[in-house]
Structure 1
Amino acid sequence: MKLIRTEDAVGHVLCHDITQIIKGVTKDAVFRKGHIVTEEDIPVLLSVGKENLYVWEKEVGMLHENEAAEILREISQGEHMHPSEVKEGKIELIADCDGVLKINGEKLRAVNALGEMMIASRHGNFPVKKGDKIAGTRVIPLVIEEEKMNRAKEVAGKEPIFQILPYEHKKVGIVTTGSEVYHGRIQDTFTPVIVDKVTEYGAEIEGHEICDDNPEMIEDAIHDLLRRGCNMILCTGGMSVDPDDRTPLAIKNVTGNVVSYGAPVLPGAMFLLAYYGGDLPVMGLPGCVMYAKRTVFDLVLPRIMAGEILTKENLDLLGEGGLCLNCPTCTFPNCGFGKCGSR
């Protein structure tokens, strides 16, 4: 850094905060370290007694924090988000739509491991709403080696660290199973819960069938809903290991492609995920979805609604963080449930 006359400082970058003290009114930085001095700033600087300033002296191979922050933004920002203005080497990313936040955790860790720069975010694989802050990036020192920022670009590669997957419009078919419901012995209290959850993500209910525990009847109901244009099928009931619970068999017979029957999540261990034709989700929902505040369905549904094709590995990874603590006051998603990292 170098010391220059304040009148000659236009276009230069301050190397320290400039504090303004007005008795009984304020004592705060009127200009922050890293501020680029403008013509309009000169009278203010002189009024606080700064006739000389320490400014950053441009060196070959060094970048100002704001220049470097733009590089962090470039490697971080994916589709459906926009950046805040750069300030003191910091840029934030804001969601432009509702959807699911996807994070390349390996790249995120690699960039943070370089030192003198950081990227912090909310958890991946969880819903975000338009206007939500999803990540913040910052360069730590006032100046940083250009070579170091080039390394950040190398480890990040061509694909951005963050993406938002917008929700797709889904036409949902619901198959309610159980002879007790089919014969009217009890009221169907499961379907209203499902309707509330899927419509929260913009889905529409295209059809609803009620079946007894006959697997052929359940198969026929699923096929009928598929013919009516449903592109997501939810089967409720009959998902335990009791001999007369035949819903998993029916789903398997229709799809021939069961990703997993069982998930390492409580509540929700008896969850079943399958795909018809390779990309149309058919799910078997255990009874806990009807009465528990949050279950495996709440972890999987947003990702399905965003068009993700989930694998068994995706479900296996839910084990870390997959235990709901049934808190007296539910704060989901602002809690540890489902927070297994961006993998």
Structure 2
Amino acid sequence: MQFGPTPLEDAQGAVLAHTLRLPGKVLKKGTVLDAEAIAALRAAGRREVIAARLESGDVPENEAAHRIGEALMGPLLARSRAATGRVNLLADAAGLLVVNEALVNRLNALDESLTLATLPSHSPVSAREMLATVKVIPFAVPGGVLQVAEAMARSGQALSIHPFRPLKVGLVLTELPGLKESVMEGAVEATEARIAGLAGQLLPPERCRHEEAAIADALNRLKRAGAEMLLTAGASAVVDRRDVGPAAIVRAGGRIEHFGMPVDPGNLLCLGRIGDIPALVLPGCARSPKLNGFDWVLQRLFAGLPVGGREIAAMGVGGLLKEIEARPLPREAAPRNAPTGAAPRRPRQVAALVLAAGRSRRMAPLNKLLVPDSKGVPMVARVVANALESRARPVIVVTGYERERVEDALAGRPVLLAQTEDYAEGLSASLKAGLSALPPEVEGVLVCLGDMPLVTGPMLDRLLAAFDPEEGRAIVMPTFRGKQGNPMLWSREFLPEMMQITGDVGARHLAGKYADRVVEVEMADDAVLRDFDTTDALRLNPEFAGRR
């Protein structure tokens, strides 16, 4: 591939290296220059452009990314379409991601034109979650390099998903005099939440004295009840493999395989088995919902992966978990102003703007925003509740048509209200009214549509997490299986142009103009594609069907 300044007479078929804004026309980075584009460049007074010219055997970036993505495919994996030299690999089921780190490293060392970035190995993932991204760095890859990379990718499974199994889990809670009931309840609550999050079922817990024989009897009762995994949460922490909890496993006919782990919090975990059933004595930190070493072991067991002394001993790298960063070291004796390394970056302040001023012409005589769901919650109130569930602040709602009724539906919610008298002019009037109400300190705005009630707070937070204008992620767009959806997040730098929009349109066309500033975030379901602007759309959704 040749790259650099290219005279226009040699530029037809070349790939434009940088976005160019010409009078009345924008040529985006990556455009393959045709006769029309070259004529526009000449008319603008350009004599040359910075461009890439493919040579014999070169493979264009999107084709190369597609081929590498195909070579990496395996069971329970999916991929996005290739765009801007990138293909994302996705999970087709919830489970534990295992990464062949050696193979990924070999691929990344092959040639600087090809890169593969993945989540950490043994990450729990949900269905449709992004696992990895293939990115072709230049505009083309030498054909010989690509063939070697494809062969390498097919030589082993770089990414594999191990689905979580719906296991039945038994829990023994031991008691000592003076132990608060709230401690027992907290242990059950935290354990049940963990098990449910892995598609499992917690059997009714057994409570007994903190004694070896009593615990062994409780374990055997749970085993007879069908438990496929046994957990013991002791009233007192286990401190030795011969302590009460581990001894009870042995007394129940089992064995201890490993005591302790190089993960903090989670050091005092004891792993055993009774026959083929895993039996664990939990560390005290397992009473908390925060991530700890027990989570790592539990996830692997639910995914059907081997867990023994060797696997636990290998957990030390990365085993200093984030939740303990604030602990004073050494414990209470550490000075409060001791340096702790680089300060965490302040989360960017992003406002949520809910557009709720429209006339619902396609659903007349109904006002779609006031149609209740199956729980009686008006559509606009549900959209606002989702926005309030996210990290976006403030939440601003633009009203117009039937303003009093819409605002009554939102009574008591901590939102700011902006009104537009020009709602009949279309979407742009609502957008501009909301943008005018933004506080000066916000760095971005999440534009939410009042007729998209299925977009949840966690979905909005995924968009916020991707937002970083300094890294080029100034426009964040949700997608589902490659289709672009809403809401979109915009950096403040685009507000002047957004304020110039007229008619019944939003700002989406700006994403095409500034394609090099857009990042797409793949979502787990199609909520980001589904609006409710017709009676048919209501009828087809069980949460709103029959509520008209």
TM-score (norm 2): 0.51
Question: Distance between the aligned counterparts of 1:76 and 1:173, measured in 2?
Answer: 39
CA distance in 1, matches of 2:241, 2:209: 14
Over the aligned positions, Cα root-mean-square deviation in angstroms equals: 3.5
- Higher RCO (CA 8 Å, separation ≥ 6 residues): 1
Matches within 5 A, 1:1-343: 14=15, 16-17=17-18, 19-22=20-23, 28-30=26-28, 32-33=29-30, 35=31, 46-49=39-42, 56=53, 59=56, 61-115=57-111, 116-180=113-177, 186-187=180-181, 188-189=184-185, 190-237=187-234, 238-241=236-239, 245-254=243-252, 256-278=254-276, 280-291=277-288, 293-324=290-321, 325-327=323-325
Question: Which amino acid in structure 1 is aligned with residue 266 of structure 2?
Answer: G
Identity, % of aligned positions: 25
The superposition leaves residues 174-218 of structure 1 with CA deviations (integer Å, 9 ceiling, x where unpaired) of: 11123438xxx6422322221222222222122311122332332
* Contact kept in structure 1, 2:93 and 2:127, CA below 8 Å: yes
CA distance in 2, matches of 1:129, 1:78: 17
Structure 1 Cα separation of the partners of residues 36 and 154 of structure 2: 46
Q: Say if 1:323 and 1:255 are closer, same or farther in 2 by CA, change over 3 A.
A: farther
SS of match in other structure, 2:272: strand
Structure 2 unpaired stretches of 5+:
328-343, 348-548
Contact 2:283 2:294 (C-alpha < 8 Å) held by counterparts: no
Corresponding position of 1:337: none
SS at match of 2:195: helix
What is the deviation of 1:234?
A: 1.1
SS of 1:180's equivalent in the other structure is: coil
State the 1:107 CA deviation: 0.4
Q: Secondary structure at the match of 2:220?
A: helix
The alpha-carbon distance between structure 1 residues 73 and 226, as it changes in their structure 2 partners (threshold 3 A), is: same
Q: Check conservation: 2:69, 2:87, Cα contact below 8 A.
A: yes
Residues paired across the two proteins, number = 315
Per-residue Cα deviation, 1:58-101 (whole angstroms, up to 9, x for no partner): 52x43332332223213333332322221232211123332222
Q: Higher helix share goes to which structure?
A: 2
**Residue segments in structure 1 that go unaligned for 5+ positions in a row:** 332-343
C-alpha separation between the residues in 1 aligned to 2:232 and 2:69?
43
Q: Hey, what's the Cα distance between the residues in 1 that align with 2:207 and 2:91? A: 40
**Counterpart-to-counterpart distance in 1, 2:242 and 2:272:** 21
Which stretch of the first structure deviates more once superposed, 107-116 or 214-223? 214-223
Q: Distance in 2 between matches of 1:136 and 1:151?
A: 19
> Cα 1:223–1:42, aligned 2, differ >3 Å: closer, same or farther?
farther
C-alpha spacing 1:113/1:243, structure 2 compared with 1 (3 Å)? closer
Report the secondary structure of 1:144's partner residue. strand
SS of residue matched to 1:82:
strand
Sort the Cα spacing of 1:277 and 1:63 in 2 relative to 1 into closer, same or farther, 3 A.
Answer: farther
Cα distance, 1:313 vs structure 2: 2.1
Return the alpha-carbon distance in structure 2 between the equivalents of residues 255 and 146 of structure 1.
61
Quick check: 2:93–2:126 contact (8 Å CA) kept in 1? yes
Alpha-carbon contact 2:68-2:153 (below 8 Å) kept: no
- Using the alignment, how far apart are the partners of 2:310 and 2:38 within structure 1? 59
- Separation in 1 of the partners of 2:303 and 2:19? 48
* Match in the other structure for 2:486: none
Q: Distance in 2 between matches of 1:255 and 1:89?
A: 57
Q: In the TM superposition, what is the alpha-carbon distance from 1:17 to its structure 2 partner?
A: 4.8
Deviations for 1:219-268, whole angstroms, at most 9, x for unmatched residues? Answer: 22222212211112111115423799411112234464433111111222
Task: Work out the CA distance in 2 between the residues paired with 1:105 and 1:47.
Answer: 48
CA deviation after TM superposition for structure 1 residue 173, in Å: 0.8
TM-fit CA distance, 1:47: 4.4
Q: Which amino acid aligns with 1:240?
A: V
Report deviation, 1:46. 4.3
Partners in 2 of 1:118 and 1:255 — Cα distance?
Answer: 51
* Gap change, CA 1:80 and 1:290, over 3 Å in 2: same
Contact map agreement 2:76 2:92 (CA 8 A) in 1: yes
**Partner deviation per Cα, 1:260-318 (whole Å, 9 max, x = no partner):** 1111112221101223434x322110222224733211222222222222132221122
Say which SS state the counterpart of residue 278 (structure 2) adopts: strand
Q: Secondary structure at the match of 1:119?
A: strand
Is the contact between residue 91 and residue 138 of structure 1 (CA under 8 Å) also seen in structure 2?
A: yes
Whether the 8 Å CA contact 1:239–1:284 is kept in 2: the answer is: no
Contact 1:75/1:159, CA 8 A, preserved across alignment: no
Residue type at the aligned position of 1:121: T
Q: Distance in 1 between matches of 2:241 and 2:155?
A: 52
d(CA) in 2 for partners of 1:243 and 1:186?
A: 26
Give the superposition deviation at 1:167: 1.7
Q: Which amino acid aligns with 2:265?
A: P
